[in-house]
Amino acid sequence: MAVAFGAFGRAGTAGADVARLTVPPGSPADGVPVSAAEAGGARVVALIRDGRLVGWPAPDAALRTGDTLVAVGEPDGIAALAGLLELA
């Protein structure tokens, strides 16, 4: 399950969530590029891999088991990303 650790409002919208999600073992997202993970509407603004923070990962960067994603988006976009990771 995605765990939102903050939210902020945007002018004219209901707001956006910030979530931290980890790619679990056996996830279908293992090997998927960041750009494909963002297809549901959430934007991956950073990932933590092997204890290192990678800000604004390249769209073609492949996700790996154990990566922690920091994503921003509407609740539906965060839920879609969690679904891809099979966290929902």
CATH for 76:
3.30.70.1450
Report how far residue 73's alpha carbon sits from residue 25's, in angstroms, rounded to the nearest whole number. Answer: 24
pLDDT at 14: 59
Range of the domain at 73: 3-9+17-85
pLDDT at 87: 76
pLDDT at 77: 92
pLDDT at 16: 80
Q: DSSP E strands: which ranges in the chain?
A: 3-8, 16-22, 43-49, 52-55, 68-73
- For 35, the token pair is 């750009």
For the chain, the domain total comes to 1
- Render each residue's pLDDT in the chain as its tens digit; 88 residues: 344 444 444 444 557 889 999 999 999 999 999 999 998 889 999 999 999 999 999 999 999 999 999 999 998 999 999 999 987 5
pLDDT at 71: 94
Report how far residue 11's alpha carbon sits from residue 52's, in angstroms, rounded to the nearest whole number. Answer: 33
**Residue that has been written with the tokens 């990566």 in this structure:** 67
Report how far residue 52's alpha carbon sits from residue 29's, in angstroms, rounded to the nearest whole number. Answer: 20
Q: For residue 69, what are the β-bridge partners? A: 21, 47
